[in-house]
Amino acid sequence: MTASSNDREKANKIREGDVRTASRLIRNLEDKIPEAKTTLKHIFRHTGKAHIIGITGSPGAGKSTITDALIAAYRREGKTVGVLAVDPSSPFTGGAILGDRIRMQRHAEDPGVFVRSLATRGALGGLSNAVGDAIHVLDAMGKDKIIIETVGTGQQEVEIINYAHTVVVLLVPGMGDEIQALKAGIMEIADIFVINKADRPGAKQLESIISSLLDMAPGFPGGWRPPTVKVENVFESAPFNERTGELRETIDKHYQLLIESALLGDHLKRKTLMEIQEAIRMAIIEPVLQDLTRTGRLEEMTRRIMNKEADPYSLAEEAAGSYLKNIPR
Amino acid sequence: MEKKRKIRIMIAKPGLDGHDRGARILARFFRDAGYEVIYTGCHQTPEQIAQAAIQEDVDLVGLSCLSGAHRLLFPQVVSQLKAHGAEDITVIGGGIIPEQDFPLLAEAGIKAIFTPGASLESILQWVLDNVGG
């Protein structure tokens, strides 16, 4: 079998929803196995149909629990769901505990649900570098809804906006005062706010803080003022299902607005621009670095820089110059 | 730059058994050894464990059982994996397991059994030798 027909067969299997092939491809993409990109080329054409939802918030805010509830809510609507749950890698050992799926295991036997955990592997934006490619895989599998659960975020991990059509920011009462809410970063990226654990004291104040924050906003794209959904009573299934069902409806309403306005096109253009820039970077930098490593020149450069015989900027320009000359035009 | 494959391990607790301290310690230990560890929590069915292992594309499933149901549940995990074409995933087990059950479990495809007193280092060494690091 030729490489290309093998890739096409893999791509077909993924489009038929084959879990084993899909999960192996995601693994290969994470591990940066070159052949994985070839398979991706075959499935790319079949992507772009799914609604991508981002769930973000601080550690312990309830992201996995809300994700689990959303899976259930979408399954009640007959939608298929893919989940990418990101947890941090250790900066010291590279190891990771991926524990998000504990909350979602009741869906493990449901063929309409695919849950995959990803470690950040050094990425800083709250996601994994492989997340964009993994979204394509789930999208090609035909999942209607793809939920991305970020790592527990602080103020700055906002990369989710590059991928998700709808960003849900989870907040819990008692995390800080109005000044926290005024700061740039995560409070700016919400399409929907969720006040989780709203049965705790401080939920009302948090709601009014969000509201006054939004009052100060210069305007809202498409006229969508991010609504706030309060979720409480996680241990009482009827009211909890009702509130998370309401969240599901609000998420879908937001997507509907994107579709009906030009915003979905804007989003796609922004994402595509980012994607091609990243792909160019990978296509040029990776082979150059590989070649420099293979030939020992990288080591040689390191030695010269350490001895102060050369500076990294000149060597980089030199290396870039010699490779760019060899690109056929 | 030849990239090393990242080994992924799943730690799972089948059946009605809430004693997961050992499982958590092991998960943490593997994390510190540089592995990516998926922990699925307590009270899992063999089918749930097999499906999760496939969705996560792990190399190794470590089962923990302290309830005495290992004779039934461990082999079911292996057969569920096989039923879904994932017999290449290595399955090992640990817990309160009498020695006379070892042959039955080995025959069912459990590649190693670790009982109380097994050191974390000995488990890691087995994984390094048989799965990779």
3-state secondary structure string, chain A? CCHHHHHHHHHHHHHCCCHHHHHHHHHHHHCCCHHHHHHHHHHHCCCCCCEEEEEEECCCCCHHHHHHHHHHHHHHCCCCEEEEEEECECCCCCCEEECHHHHHHHHCCCCCEEEEEEECCCCCCCCCCCHHHHHHHHHHCCCCEEEEEEEECCCCCCHHHHCCCEEEEEECCCCCCHHHHHCCCHHHCCCEEEECCCCCCCHHHHHHHHHHHHHCCCCCHHHCCCCEEECCCCCCHHHHHHHHHHHHHHHHHHHHHHHHCCHHHHHHHHHHHHHHHHHHHHHHHHHHHHHHHHCCHHHHHHHHHHCCCCCHHHHHHHHHHHHHHCCCC
Q: For chains A and B, count residue pairs whose Cβ atoms are closer than 8 Å.
A: 93
Which member of B8, B34, B44 has the closest CB to residue A93?
B34
| Interface contact A30, partner B, CB < 8 A | yes
pLDDT band at B2 (very low <50, low <70, confident <90, very high): very low
Q: What is the pTM of this model?
A: 0.92
Q: Is the pLDDT of residue B3 over 80?
A: no
Position A328 scores a pLDDT of 61
Q: Does the structure show a pLDDT above 90 at B4?
A: no
What are the chain A neighbours of B24 within 8 Å (beta carbons)? none
Q: Does the beta carbon of A201 lie under 8 angstroms from any beta carbon of chain B?
A: no
Distance CA A154, CA A185 (A): 9
DSSP state of B3: P
CB-CB neighbors (< 8 A) of B85 in chain A: 20
ipTM > 0.85 (yes/no): yes
The residue of chain B with its CA nearest to that of A22 is B55
The answer to whether residue A102 neighbours chain B at the CB level (below 8 Å) is yes
Record: contact A96-B85, CB cut-off 8 A: no
Closest Cα in chain A, distance from residue B47 (Å): 7
Site from B55, B61, B127 to mutate, A interface, most A CB atoms within 10 angstroms: B55
Q: Could you report the per-residue pLDDT of A182-240, keeping only the tens digit for each?
A: 677 888 899 999 999 999 999 999 999 999 989 988 899 999 999 999 998 888 888 99
**Residue B1, pLDDT score:** 37
Q: How far apart are CA B128 and CA B114, in angstroms?
A: 15
Distance from CA of A204 to the nearest CA of B (A): 34
Contacts with A33 from chain B: Cβ below 8 Å: 3
Residues B89 and B34: their CA atoms lie apart, in Å, by: 19
Write out residues in chain A with pLDDT < 70, as ranges.
1-3, 176-179, 181-182, 327-329
- Are B40 and A289 a contacting pair at CB < 8 A? no
